[in-house]
Each structure stands twice: as structure tokens, then as C-alpha cells.
Amino acid sequence: MSDSSPAADRLHRIEEVPYAMTLFLLLVIAAIVLGLIGVVAEGLFYLLVIGIVVFVVALVYLGMHIKRSGRHQRTLR
């Protein structure tokens, strides 16, 4: 049996969303910066690869967060 009410669970999920979106945006910005440096700077192609990997990680993180949040689930009528 859970000690928390459904309202408390909902509030916890609402408070969690800004932090998750902030982390996602920071990962995307880091990926863009690394990718640009990797393309522009000669001999730093590995930064482009790292930027692509960081971007993929950010997308996976966002996908896991959306799936876990349960806000996008359809109800059957």
C-alpha cells in the first residue's frame, strides 16, 4: 500500500518535468557545440562524433522520460 495520495504523485511528476526538460536542453546544446567545433576545427573530428553520441543520448533520455511520465497514455472508453 502506498502512503502517498494520487494528488501528491501528480505534484511530484509536475515538479520533475522542468528538471528533465532542462537536462534534455543542456544535452542538446552540448551536442550542437561539440558538433560545430568538430566540423570547424581541423583535426577534431572526434568532437563531432561525441556530439552525435550526446544528441542520441538526449533523445533516448527524452523518450524514456515521456514513456515513464504517463502523461501521453491514451485511456480506453
- Alpha-carbon distance of 21 to 4, in angstroms, equals 25
Mean pLDDT over 50-64 rounds to 89
Q: How far is CA 44 from CA 10, 26, 36, 37, in A?
A: 45, 22, 10, 7
Q: Which of 51, 74, 68 is nearest to 13 (CA)?
A: 68
User: Does the pLDDT of residue 11 top 60, yes or no?
Assistant: no
Residue 60 pLDDT more than 70? Answer: yes
**Cut 0.85: pTM above it:** no
30 pLDDT more than 80: yes
Does pLDDT of 64 surpass 60?
yes
Q: How far from 21 is each of 8, 61, 74, CA to CA, in Å?
A: 21, 10, 22
